[in-house]
Amino acid sequence: MRWTEQARRVLDELDRTQHDPIERASQIAARSIGAGGLVHAFGTGHSRIPIEELFPRYGSYPGFSPLAELSMTFHTQVVGANGQRQAMFIERVEGLADAILANFELRPRDSMIIFSATGLNAVPIEMAMGARKAGLPVIAVTSLAATDAGAARHSSGTKLRDHADVVIDLCTPVGDALCSIPGLDTPVGPGSTLAAVAIVNEIKVRTAELLVAAGRMPSVLTSGQLVGAERSAALFEDAYLDHAARAAAALRKKELR
């Protein structure tokens, strides 16, 4: 069976089962952005892709803050320096999340979305732990099938979903790949990226609806083909300055004495 057919089944399952957690996640995001805060977004491995889908790109807006650690998200250098062996090792190292979060002042008005296809690796789990400790609501986007099938890898014996206020299921299978091929004993064609990007855009659109209703909608990055070059440039400038102000407020600063 072709990959697109299997992918449609994943999207249909998302539509059928994930409306409520996506709505709760959108409510959390709208509260953070509407209050001038940030929705931090984090993922290791290929879970970097949905955080880049959130912002910045056409049809997106400030308030979502992608946290992409290159040591765990730089894929094209497969072997050698910065290779995949190192990246896969690093995302399982306990304590690294605390070093990442030490750069930020996590405020109660902020929130955190964490993407992990399995929900088993140490760094995403400890990012959730750190965010919750700081009082942020945590949204986990993960495959519950993969989580349930995998043994806990963190020394606490917990998994990502154990540290989330909202859990959104990717609805992808154990091992992620969607297609079995006769004569091949391993499946091909992963589905988690498609599912995560679909979830991201559902949250983005619903959050925008809530922000518009509250009169708190930021500028949207929009193509000049739609609004003309001059207005497009103005929207970009306003959105970038908005993001800069939010990001600057969230950076940990030296205390002056």
Q: What is the pLDDT of residue 256?
A: 55
The CA distance from 67 to 205, in Å, is 21
Residue 89 within any structural domain of the chain = yes
Using CA atoms, how far residue 180 sits from 1, 52, 72, 212, 246, in Å, is 8, 30, 29, 44, 46
Please measure the distance between the N-terminal and C-terminal CA atoms of the chain and give it in whole angstroms.
66
pLDDT at 1: 60
User: Residue 256: inside a domain, yes or no?
Assistant: no
Whether 255 is in a domain gets the answer: no
**One-letter identity of residue 126:** E
Total domain count, the chain: 1
With respect to residue 80, please indicate whether it lies within any of the assigned structural domains. yes
Q: What is the pLDDT of residue 257?
A: 58
User: What pLDDT, in 10s, does the model give residues 229-250?
Assistant: 999 999 999 999 999 999 999 9
Residue 37 belongs to a domain: yes
pLDDT value at position 48?
93
Q: For residue 257, tell me if it sits in a domain.
A: no
Burial of 145 (0-12, 13-18, 19+ CB in 10 A): middle
- Can you give the CATH number for the domain in which 91 is found? 3.40.50.10490
Backbone torsion region of residue 175, taken as left when φ is above 0, otherwise alpha when ψ lies between -120 and 50, otherwise beta: left
Q: What is the pLDDT of residues 141-159, one digit of tens each?
A: 999 999 999 999 999 999 9
Under-50 pLDDT residues of the chain: none
By the 8 A CB rule, do 108 and 254 touch?
A: no
Q: Is the residue at 57 inside a domain?
A: yes
Domain interval for residue 159: 3-250
d(CA 101, CA 114): 13
Residue 101 lies in a domain: yes
